Structures are given as C-alpha cells and as structure tokens.
Amino acid sequence: MPKDQQNLVRRSPVVVVMGHIDHGKSTLLDYIRKANIVSGEAGGITQHVGAYEAISQNAAGEKHLITFLDTPGHEAFCSIRERGALAADIAILVVSAEDGVKPQTVEAFREIKAAGIPFIVAINKIDKPNADIDRTKTSLGEHEIYVEGWGGDVPWVAISAIQGTGVPELLEMIQLVADMADLKTSTEALASGAVIESELDTRKGITVTLLIKNGSLHIGNFVVAGGAWTPVRYIEDFAGHKIEQAGASSPVVIVGWNEIPDCGDSFVTVTNKKEAENLALTQAAAKRAAQPKATSVPAATQAADKRKPGENHDTEPITLPLIIKADVIGSLDGVKFELAKVKHDKVAIKIVNEGIGEINEKDVKLAQSDPQIMILGFNVIPDKKAAALIERSVPPITVQTFKIIYELTEAVKAALLAKVPKEYIEQIIGRAKIMATFSKDKDRQVVGGKVQEGLLENGAAIRIIRREAEIGRGTIRELQQQKKRVSEVREGYEFGTLIEAKAEIAAGDKIEAVRTVEKTS
C-alpha cells in the first residue's frame, strides 16, 4: 500500500466561500473568525485568496476545525475562484436574499460543478427589508441550482452574516457534509497539496501560502511546486504564529523559495535538497513542454501583416507598453484579466514586464529606456531607491499606483485613447457650378459661377469636378459678389473668384469647397 494511503485518519474540511460581489462572503467569514477584514478592502473587493481556520461547536458541544478559503467574487478574479474551488472539499455558494442570482453567482456555480465538490447554498441578508427567500430559491432554480424542498437536493441555510443569524446552522451543515464526504489523511505521508498564494516580501523574500491536503509538513523538509522549491526552515500558521509541524487541511506560510511558484500548482514534500532540485527541474521542463508554442499576436500586428504587397510596411503597429507590479499573484491575475478587455483596433496593450512586489529600480530603468512605458502598481508603491530615481528621471516617466482595479483600468483606457492616431476627413461645405471663365495666368484663373449648395469661403480648398470625376484641386484666393470682395458667398448667389489650381477650369465644371476636420468616431 502506498505510504500516502497508510494509517488514514479523519481530517477537517476545507471550505471555499464563493458568490457574487457584495453578496456577503467576506462579512460571513468575518463573523465566523471574529476578525475584521472587510473594512480594509479597497472597493469592497477581496483582492486575493486568503486561508483561515475556525473552530465550530455544534449543539452537543463538540468542537470541529474548519479551514476556510476566501475567494474574490468579482469577475476580474475568475481564475482565483477556480483555484479556490479546486483546492477545497466543500463550497458555500453565498446568494443575496435581496438580489438573487447574479452573473458571478452563475460563474461560481460552474466552477463548483467543474471541481466536482459538494456545496451548500447560504441565502444571506435575510435581515434586509427587501429579502425574499422564496424568490431567491426561484432565482436559483431558474439557473439549475435546485435546493432541498424546491425540487432538488442541494442543502441550504438562511443566514444574516452581519447579525450571525443562521451561521451556527451553516457550520453544522458543513460538518454534516464533511462527514458524508469521509475526508481522510495519512499520518505517515509527507505533505502534499496546493499553492494558494504567492508574494514577494522585500524583507523575507518569496512568501507562499500552501494548503496541505494530505500528510504532514515538518521543519527540515523540502517543498517543491512546479519548478520552484524551498527548504522548510520554519512554518507559520494562518495567523502568523511559528509552529513545528502542520497537518492536513492546514493553511501554512513558507518563506525562502528559489522562485515564485504559480498559484494553483500542486506541491509535494521531499526529504533532501538534491531530490527537491531534481524534481523542480523535471517539473519545470514538463511545464515548458506542455505550453503551446504559438504566441498570440496583437490585433494591430495582425492587421499590419495582412497588408497587400506594394503598401507601405514601414509603419509599426502602435502599442501602449506597460510594466505591471502587484502585491500578490492573485492581484496580478485580476489586473491582467481586466486589461485583456481593454481593446482598440489601432492601439494594442503590450505588457513588457510584470511581477509581484514593490516597484523597484529595475522597473524604473526599464521605463527610462522607453519614455512611452507606463508603470502600474496595484496595491504596491515604489521602494525608496525607485522613488528617488523616478523623482530625478529626465524625461519624466509615468508611474501610477492603485488600490481599486477599475481605477487602474480606467487610467489605462485613457492612456490608450491618447495614443490613438488622429484621423481627418474632408467635409464638403459648399458646391457651385462654373458658368464662365475670364482669364488664366499660369496656375491662377478667374472664373464666375453660382453657389448651388452651402457656401464658398475665401481661402477654402476646392475639388474641381468634371462629368462627376475629380480632375484637380485648388484654393480660392479671392471671392467677389456683385463686384465687391467678400469672405463668403452663400447658396443661390452668383460670384466671381480667383482660384489657384494646376487643372484648367472650364464652363460647366463644378467646384466643391471642402474643410478638413478631425474624425470623431
């Protein structure tokens, strides 16, 4: 029997809380663990995955440990929710009793189904005046989420995350579902599980949150995730306390990695450095081999490649180069997801560098190499060296930092539009028929006619039309009406004019006065 299947014992459940933005996920977790994270969240959005342990006590006085994963409800953080669902044993789908099912509710439900884990519906905000539990159940049913007593077998609990109403019942339901799932772990196995989050701490180095799904982690072990590895010099629990070992279902923080592992990567534990290095190299090579070889080409580049032979190929597609820095991998994923939706047919966003951690000297020097580069920081600011370099940079470089993702995307949209090349069109302001020609001296000719539409203006550019075809262009140098010089002649009036044009104008020709204006759409 494999070692990871020996001496199996029951482990506590890992629960992911999912749902639409503002439906109360973070408020629910806040109530459960008696810690306030909601007030510190910019824009009311949890920006990256957190993992927390809580103790629940049932009516019989029995205590149980539950690990909660908090995932963002916002569309921008779709990939983070997917990671959370795959790492969990049970999901709680939070739905507002006021609003019912919303787009991210449906997306979360799809991710729960894809992960193949059991789930509980928590109908939240039952304390609100507009709360309607039956209407919410109907809304769930319309999206093929059939709760118990309403045509299905999905357990549900009505709660108020603010007041705590129904939360004890929800915790008991979690334990009941966990009992049915019969979750087990081996006491003999080395720890394995998933990478929940990664960040670069300027003092500590690369810091990674792991969720142990099986086995035990001890100081002195080596952890490998993808092509990254680290010795386990010390272990921190979710609250930042140093511990000697950690078991299954525990979120732990490990510091000192050789590189940043990808969120969602599986991790395994080995007993020596050489084995860790070899495994990391093997997994990194396998990951590279699995990546598609084709690279995506920005729309502007594709358009340039489709130009016909003989056309001017010197014009490079216009790009908006960006350097993106974020506090954690989850935030970086969210920013890139949102920026992927910022598109224009004439300008393409180009991410020249990305990473986690503060904006540093390397980022600034890269931006100095191309004054068009824009540095974006999400939940991070420039470090001291970078800030000093930015201040004395000539020419100045663009550095903007944000705490709310949509303020970042709006800034990028504005920068993108500013780079869109201006287009100009000719607007016809008047048409006239030439009735007589009087004299010609080189390119200057005096003719007479009548304005048929609009007006002619002194100094206006004109097209010379003969039998519906343009035969040349020129400029009105002088206008006369009833032998008096005027600045314009309007529809229905006769005129005399001095026109400068290479094409010779004849009686019966027509002229169109045009004005060049910027195209607005």
User: Do 50 and 172 share a domain, yes or no?
Assistant: yes
Domain count, the chain: 4
User: Do 145 and 29 share a domain, yes or no?
Assistant: yes
d(CA 350, CA 152): 48
Can you list the alpha helix ranges (DSSP code H) found in 306-404?
Answer: 329-339, 361-368, 384-391
d(CA 458, CA 489): 9
Single out the residue in 419, 439, 468 at which a domain terminates: 419
Q: Is 106 helix (H, G, I), strand (E, B) or coil?
A: helix
Does 484 fall in a domain? yes
Single out the residue in 160, 183, 206 at which a domain terminates: 183
Does 153 fall in a domain? yes
| pLDDT given for residue 96 in this prediction | 94
Q: What is the CATH number of the domain that holds 275?
A: 2.40.30.10
Distance of CA 2 to the CA centre of its chain: 42
User: Do 158 and 208 share a domain, yes or no?
Assistant: no
β-strand partners of 107? none
User: Do 372 and 449 share a domain, yes or no?
Assistant: no
Which pair of tokens denotes residue 334?
Answer: 């969210």
Does 293 fall in a domain? no
Strands 192-201 and 469-481, bridge-based pairing: unpaired
| pLDDT given for residue 222 in this prediction | 97
d(CA 283, CA 468): 71
User: Do 151 and 29 share a domain, yes or no?
Assistant: yes
- CA dihedral sign, ordered 121, 124, 127, 132: negative
Phi/psi for 408 (5° steps) reads -65, -50
Q: What is the CATH number of the domain that holds 142?
A: 3.40.50.300
User: Do 343 and 245 share a domain, yes or no?
Assistant: no
| Angle at 111 (CA atoms; ends 18, 69), nearest 5 degrees | 35
Can you list the alpha helix ranges (DSSP code H) found in 116-164?
Answer: 133-142
29: left (phi over 0), alpha (psi -120 to 50) or beta: alpha
Does 349 fall in a domain? yes
| pLDDT given for residue 52 in this prediction | 79
User: Do 76 and 140 share a domain, yes or no?
Assistant: yes
User: Do 82 and 205 share a domain, yes or no?
Assistant: no
| pLDDT given for residue 366 in this prediction | 93
d(CA 215, CA 185): 6
Q: Say what the pTM is.
A: 0.63
User: Do 48 and 63 share a domain, yes or no?
Assistant: yes
Question: 282 near 349, Cβ under 8 Å?
Answer: no
Give the domain extent around 47: 9-183
User: Do 468 and 410 share a domain, yes or no?
Assistant: no
| Amino acid at the residue 493 | Y
Which pair of tokens denotes residue 517?
Answer: 């204006």
| Amino acid at the residue 48 | H
Does 296 fall in a domain? no
d(CA 133, CA 95): 10
β-strand partners of 433? 450, 510
For the chain, 521 residues long, the average pLDDT of each consecutive 10-residue run is: 71 89 82 53 43 77 82 49 71 93 89 90 94 94 93 94 91 93 91 86 84 94 95 90 92 92 88 95 87 45 38 62 88 86 88 90 92 93 93 91 90 90 88 95 94 95 94 95 94 96 95 88 62
d(CA 93, CA 136): 13
170: part of which helix (H) or strand (E)?
A: helix 167-181
d(CA 394, CA 496): 57
Does 260 fall in a domain? yes
User: Do 219 and 274 share a domain, yes or no?
Assistant: yes
Does 4 fall in a domain? no
User: Do 143 and 198 share a domain, yes or no?
Assistant: no
Q: What is the CATH number of the domain that holds 373?
A: 3.40.50.10050
Single out the residue in 166, 183, 200 at which a domain terminates: 183
Does 298 fall in a domain? no
CA-to-CA separations, 66 to 63, 160, 182, 202, in angstroms, rounded: 10, 20, 14, 32
Phi/psi for 161 (5° steps) reads -65, -30
d(CA 338, CA 167): 34
